């Protein structure tokens, strides 16, 4: 009887660990989003995280003014990238993100975690990698 209880306990523990990994650490999708960096903040009571808003460009007038847009909310896991993004509010950027299935308090409020950023300069769209 003890052996059966031990096997069931190990099985439940293994399934729980696999579910936790899949929900919070498995990268569900990744990609790029480009637009105008509208807001960056460093917030939290216990775990301070970098949170941002990007206005996605759907339609542009003269290549500079967004007409139709939606917001992309994201978190930044790397302090260096978060501090760099704080300096680029109001500028056009391209963000590379990883989407997780769930959020963790020390990782931020969003399931979209930014891991690199590019600045877009000028009307011609020169791209400069920041990290």
Question: Which residues, in sequence order, are CB contacts of 12 under 8 Å at separation 6+?
Answer: none
What are the average pLDDT values for consecutive 10-residue runs of the chain, which has 131 residues?
A: 91 95 90 91 91 81 64 92 90 92 86 89 62 50
In angstroms, rounded to a whole number, what is the distance separating the alpha carbons of residues 12 and 88?
Answer: 47
Reading the block at residue 15, the tokens are: 């399934």
What CATH number did the domain enclosing 40 receive? 2.40.50.140
> Is residue 3 assigned to a domain?
no
> Is residue 93 assigned to a domain?
yes
| Closest by Cα among 20, 26, 35 to 113 | 26
Residue 78's DSSP bridge partners are none
Reading the block at residue 9, the tokens are: 């306990």
pLDDT of residue 52: 95
> Is residue 75 assigned to a domain?
yes
> Is residue 104 assigned to a domain?
yes
| Closest by Cα among 52, 64, 54 to 32 | 54
* Counted domains in the chain: 1
pTM tops 0.85, yes or no: no
> Is residue 108 assigned to a domain?
yes
Which residues constitute the domain of residue 41? 28-129
| Helices of type H across the chain | 2-24, 79-86
């Amino acid at each position: 009887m003890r052996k059966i209880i031990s096997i069931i306990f190990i099985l439940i523990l293994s399934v729980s660990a696999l579910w936790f990994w899949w929900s919070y650490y498995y990268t569900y999708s990744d990609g790029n989003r480009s637009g105008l960096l509208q807001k960056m903040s460093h917030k939290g009571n216990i775990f301070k995280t970098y949170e941002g808003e990007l206005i996605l460009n759907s339609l542009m007038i003269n290549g500079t003014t967004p007409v139709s847009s939606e917001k992309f909310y994201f978190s930044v896991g790397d302090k260096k990238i978060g501090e760099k993004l704080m300096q680029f509010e109001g500028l056009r950027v391209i963000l590379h993100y990883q989407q997780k299935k769930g959020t963790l308090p020390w990782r931020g409020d969003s399931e979209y975690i930014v891991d690199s950023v590019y600045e877009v300069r000028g009307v011609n769209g020169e791209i400069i990698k920041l990290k």
